Amino acid sequence: MIDVKTSEDARFVEITMTAPISEDDYTTTLAPAIDKAIETADHIRLLAIVEGGMSDFTFGALREDSRMGLKHWRGFDRVALVTDDPGIQRMVGMFSVFMPCPVARFSLAEADTARLWLRESLGSIQIDALAKDTVVVRLMGKLDSETYAGKSEDLDSVFATMGEIGLVIDLREFDGWQGLGALKEHFALAHSHVGQLRRAAIVGDAGWQAMASKFGKHVVGLDAEHFAASAYEEAIAWVQAPD
């Protein structure tokens, strides 16, 4: 049997699997619920509580599990597995490296910890004023749209005490965005403050970061440069140098 719980926030879906778990449980209960959640939220965070072992799944149930995973390969934002069965733990551990989203495993006693992990952000944004005209924005981990909440106001308060600003965008520990919503929030945050920037340095080793600096220079008209991760201090010096 599969029991599905949803909340007002369609991004969060919790399922509990108890023996026996059949193909019909997937096709009539789980699949429609996952389809509806992803249609509403685009990307979902799934908590799967398995109160049993591999022997409690029929062959048809295992087949439907694989089909559902392939169908919604890009629809999961984060997955938490809660089970005491070592076989299921090992199997999910092996396949998790191929998943396009973070996957974590917990014991049944850690169900509340799993729920907390699903709702936490995997990344963070730090804003530091190094001098009266220099600001460092550090993007760390994998950012979701919730990470950006309040950051525009934080930048406003920092920028309000300054004139023209030299900005360092530190991407040395940045792992990307979780979904288009986070990327949209990022561009909104950047656009709302670009007018006050004198120079901007992007620090990191990913290829797209060098392209981003070229975009800022040629499309936005911003004096922007890209620096390798090892050249962080050089980036600071460049944004602080006089024109």
pLDDT tens column, 24-36: 888 888 888 888 8
Tokens of 128: 């530091």
User: Span 125-129, mean pLDDT?
Assistant: 89
- The contacts of residue 186 (CB under 8 Å, 6+ apart) are 143, 148, 177
Q: Is residue 106 very low, low, confident or very high in pLDDT (cuts 50, 70, 90)?
A: very high
pLDDT of residue 228: 95
If one compares 185 and 33, the residue with the highest pLDDT of the two is 33
Cα 50 from Cα 69, distance rounded (Å): 16
Is the model's pLDDT at 70 over the cut of 60?
A: no
Give the pLDDT of residue 180: 58
Question: Which pLDDT band, with edges at 50, 70 and 90, does 105 fall under?
Answer: very high
More confident residue, 215 or 40: 40
What integer pLDDT is reported at residue 141 of this predicted model? 82
- Reported confidence tier of residue 203, pLDDT bands at 50, 70, 90: very high
Characterize 205-239 residue by residue with b for buried, 16 or more Cβ atoms within 10 angstroms of its Cβ, and e for exposed.
ebeebbebbeebeeeeebbbbbbeeeebeebbebb
How many CB atoms lie under 10 A from the CB of residue 191? 10
Residue 134: φ, ψ to 5°: -135, 125
Q: How confident is the model at residue 218 (pLDDT cuts 50, 70, 90)?
A: low
Is the pLDDT at 205 greater than 80? The verdict is: yes
Average pLDDT, the chain: 83
Give the pLDDT confidence score for residue 182 in this predicted structure. Answer: 65
Question: Mean pLDDT throughout 184-203?
Answer: 79
